[in-house]
Structures are given as structure tokens and as C-alpha cells.
Amino acid sequence: MAEGVYRVTQTPNNHEDPRLAEMLDVIFRFAAGDLTARGTLSEDDSALDGVMAGINILGEELEAYVAESKQAQQALTESEAMLRGIFDSVQDGIILAETQTRRFRMVNDSICRMLGYRPDELLNLGVEGIHPAEDIAYVVRQFEQMASGEIGVAPNLPMKRRDGTVFYADVNTGPMMAGGVACLVGVFRDITERKRAEDQIRKLNQALEEKMQQLLETQNELVRKEKLAVLGQVAGSVGHELRNPLGVMSNAVYFLQTMLDGADDSIKEYLGIIRDEIAGSERIVSDLLDAVRTKPPHPETVGVEELIGQTLHKCVIPSSVTVKLDIPGTLSPLQVDPQQIQQVFRNLISNGVEAMPEGGMLEIRAVENESEGSLAISVRDTGTGIAPEALPKLFQPLFTTKARGIGLGLVVVKNLTQANGGRVEVQSEVGKGSLFSITLPRHGSAVETA
């Protein structure tokens, strides 16, 4: 009973029975909030004494009840203040929302700071008021899934501040009943800084990967150059020493063929074999010297069709291999050293043919890249293909996948292409074939070599 609710306006006045008057006085004082009032007993063992004893006990009980209630109320107030303090002091934003209406029942200071609203303003908004309009459908679906317990966390949820700016938050939720109404407690963690850090890490990783790739390429190039340096020393002495005897042998064979014109077929056949093998050996020596000593190119303006036509004319293509050309007549001419680039395509065509011992299709295609001012000429075969692990070593000297090769052909391809201001790219799949693409500067482009 709250103090002061009942007011005693006059003291009971009962002259006929002062004990009854005292009894009523105690009762009125109780009504006025004075629970310490007590009546006296007369010791006459009367019924009125019994009633007074009962009233006194009632007073004691009420007094104790009120004191306990006050203590409980104080404890409740302190507990509420403590919980409110915790609620408002956490860095994460907290919202208590009704599951059915999605209206807010309670918000903490952090969520108000995050969103830029006062608590009373935020309480009037509801779920739809704190997310970008275009994301509401998604947010409501997430809310419903959380309310039904299907999910407990909604990561990366877009949040809209009062000023319209958007940030992202991870939301952890849990169900609770508040005043008999089903609610959802949402704990919002601003992940802006985390996202920024993740982006930074992603960029650093990407940069690191690029640097690693560059390092790998540099390492490969270094290995290539080291091998070329060794080859250069060998080629300088051995190549020169071999060329002279090969020339003598070639002249001798020519002489014998001339002198033995009437000889039988087997002698002619063996002389032909010797001649072919000498020519093969000369090619190896030439490749060796070309690989280590690339001469400066003498660029000329030359048409792609003409260049490829002349190259094919010098190649031996078995009948089992079909050559398909796709070289538009409208292409700009190249600005390259024709002898060197013919050597490049001779090597690629020769490799392509050797990769198709059972026959197949050799496709040569040229495409112009207007923006780059270049032409890409590709040689595709339908041969055995190259294993992925062999691809990075393909242009290293002395690396070969062929039984009879010495690993110089593609070194020459790369050296001569680069010397002419171009680049080589390769794609290959085992069992399906390979595609070598040579990109070269067109006539009049900025990248053409002088």
C-alpha cells in the first residue's frame, strides 16, 4: 500500500469504548501508510484483546511485506540499471524487434550511434527503416528465416544510416519473449573495418602473386640465359668447327653424285641419305648458332600471306597433314625481318607436323589487333599436345619433348620473335593439340622495331 494514498482527516472519537477507539486509530494509521502503529492489550482476556492482537500481527506482517517489497523493488531497479548499462555499453548494436510486426521495442546506444538516430527516432522506424530500399526484400527474407530459427546469423547485411550512407554489418540473432510478444534480439557488428582490411589483404595477396609470377618468369629467363651463355661458348667453337667439315662432306657428296650418275640405284640412294643427313646436321649447327647469336633484324614491310606462303613453300608437309589457311587479304602488312620471321614459322610448322605422326590438321590463322597495332599469327595443330608441367620450360634451351630434338627450335622462335618486337604465347592440351601465337608489329605501328 503506497504511503499517503489514504488520508486520515480526523481522529476516531468513541467515548463509549476507548479500546475500540484505539483499535480504529491503529487501523486508520495503517490506512494512512503508518504500518508501525500498534494497539495495547488490556490483559482482561477479552475478545477485543484478541482482535487487537490480530491487528498488531497484521501490522507486523504488512510492515515486513512492504519492507521486503521495497528491497525487491530496489534490487530490481539496480538489476535493471546494470543490465541497461551493459546493454548500452557494448560496442555492438542491439535491437529488440517484434517478430510479427518487425517493429522495434528496444535499441541500445551503439546502434543509435551506428545509424545516426536518437533512440526515440529509431524506435519509430522498424526493420524497413534501417536498410537500403533496394535490399528490403532480401533483408525481410533474412529476418523471417532468423525468426523461424532457420538461420542464426545474417552476414554482410547492408545498413542505411540517417544520412543515407550505407555500411555493412554481421547480425547475430536469438529469439525471446517480451511481455508475451515473440521478439528477435539482433546484435549488429559493423564490419566496415574488417571488409576494408580484407580488401587490403586481397590486394596485397594479388600483388604478391603477381610479384611471385614475375619472379618465376625472371628466374626462368635467367635459367634460359645461363643455358644460352653456355651454349654460346659451345656453339662458338664446335659450330664453327663442324660447319667446315660438313661443307667439305656436302661438296664431296655432290661430286660423287655427279661422277656416279650411272651408278646403280642403291648407291644413289645411299648418297641421297648422306646428303640429307649432312643437311640435317647443318640445320642443327645453324639452329645452334641462331639460338645463341640472334642477329639484329632488318625490318621490311611484308604481307602476311606472302610471308606464310614462302615459308610453307620451304617446308616438307606430309600428305597426311591438311593445311588450312585463314589469312584475310585485308590485313595490314608486317614490319619485320622476313628471313627471321620465316625461320620462326618454319620451326613452328615443323614442330606442328612432327606432333601429328598419324596426320591431322595444321591451321594457320592471322588476326589484326587494331588497338594494339599488331597482328597475331597462330599455328594450331591437332597433335599430341604438351603436358602442363612442360609448358613453363618450353622456351628454355636444350629442353625438348621430342625423341630426336635437341631443344633449340622454340628458343630460336622466341629469340627471333622478341628481336622483331613481338611476343610468343602457347596453349596446349594433351591429346588435343597445341596453339602457338606470334604477335608482331604491323607496318606503321609504334611498337615496330627500327
Partner 1 sequence: MENVEISRVAKLWLGEDGIVRIIHVHGADVTLEDAQETMAAYLKINKGKKRPLFVDTKTMRSLAREARKYYAGEEAAKVASAVAIIVGTPVSRVLGNFYIGLSNPLLPSRLFSSEDEALEWLKGYIE
Q: Tell me if 69 contacts partner 1 by CB under 8 A.
A: no
Minimum distance, C-beta of residue 45 to partner 1, in the bound complex (Å): 4
Rank residues 64 and 238 by Cβ distance to partner 1 and give the closer one: 64
CA–CA separation, 393 vs 391, rounded Å? 5
CA–CA separation, 410 vs 290, rounded Å? 11
Q: Tell me the sheet residues that pair with 323.
A: 362
At position 31, the amino acid (one-letter code) is: A
Give the one residue of 60, 78, 198, 277 binding partner 1; rule: CB under 8 A. 60
Rank residues 48 and 242 by Cβ distance to partner 1 and give the closer one: 48
Q: Tell me if 76 contacts partner 1 by CB under 8 A.
A: no
Q: Tell me if 70 contacts partner 1 by CB under 8 A.
A: no
CA neighbor of 105 nearest in space, from 38, 41, 156, 180: 180
Q: Tell me if 64 contacts partner 1 by CB under 8 A.
A: yes
Minimum distance, C-beta of residue 2 to partner 1, in the bound complex (Å): 22
Minimum distance, C-beta of residue 25 to partner 1, in the bound complex (Å): 18
Q: Tell me if 61 contacts partner 1 by CB under 8 A.
A: yes
Give the one residue of 20, 41, 246, 274 binding partner 1; rule: CB under 8 A. 41
Give the one residue of 20, 21, 31, 49 binding partner 1; rule: CB under 8 A. 49
Minimum distance, C-beta of residue 63 to partner 1, in the bound complex (Å): 8
CA neighbor of 317 nearest in space, from 277, 363, 279, 271: 363
Q: Which of residues 317-346 bind partner 1 (CB under 8 A)?
A: none
Rank residues 41 and 447 by Cβ distance to partner 1 and give the closer one: 41
Q: Tell me if 20 contacts partner 1 by CB under 8 A.
A: no
CA neighbor of 334 nearest in space, from 346, 325, 345: 345
Binding-site size for partner 1 (CB under 8 A) equals 16
CA–CA separation, 333 vs 123, rounded Å? 74
The stretch among 42-50, 90-98, 308-316, 357-365 that binds partner 1 (CB under 8 A) is: 42-50
β-pairing, 93-98 vs 334-336, is: unpaired
Q: Tell me if 36 contacts partner 1 by CB under 8 A.
A: no
Q: What nine digits make up the cell of 113?
A: 550511434
Distant-in-sequence, close-in-space partners of 399: CB < 8 Å, separation ≥ 6: 390, 393, 407
Minimum distance, C-beta of residue 57 to partner 1, in the bound complex (Å): 5
Name the strands in the sheet holding 166-178, side by side, starting at the edge strand that comes first in the sequence.
Answer: 104-107, 93-98, 181-190, 166-178, 153-160
CA–CA separation, 140 vs 128, rounded Å? 8
Question: Do 175 and 186 touch, CB atoms closer than 8 A?
Answer: no
Q: What nine digits make up the cell of 137?
A: 526484400
Q: What nine digits make up the cell of 48?
A: 477485543
Mask for 81-120, x = binds partner 1 (CB under 8 A): ----------------------------------------
Helix residue ranges, H only, 260-384: 265-292, 304-314, 338-354
Rank residues 66 and 367 by Cβ distance to partner 1 and give the closer one: 66
Task: State the DSSP H helix or E strand holding residue 260, giving kind and residue range, or none if neither.
Answer: none
Q: Tell me if 62 contacts partner 1 by CB under 8 A.
A: no
| CA 88 and chain centroid, separation | 37
Rank residues 37 and 94 by Cβ distance to partner 1 and give the closer one: 37
Binding site for partner 1 (CB under 8 A): 41, 43, 45-51, 53-54, 56-57, 60-61, 64
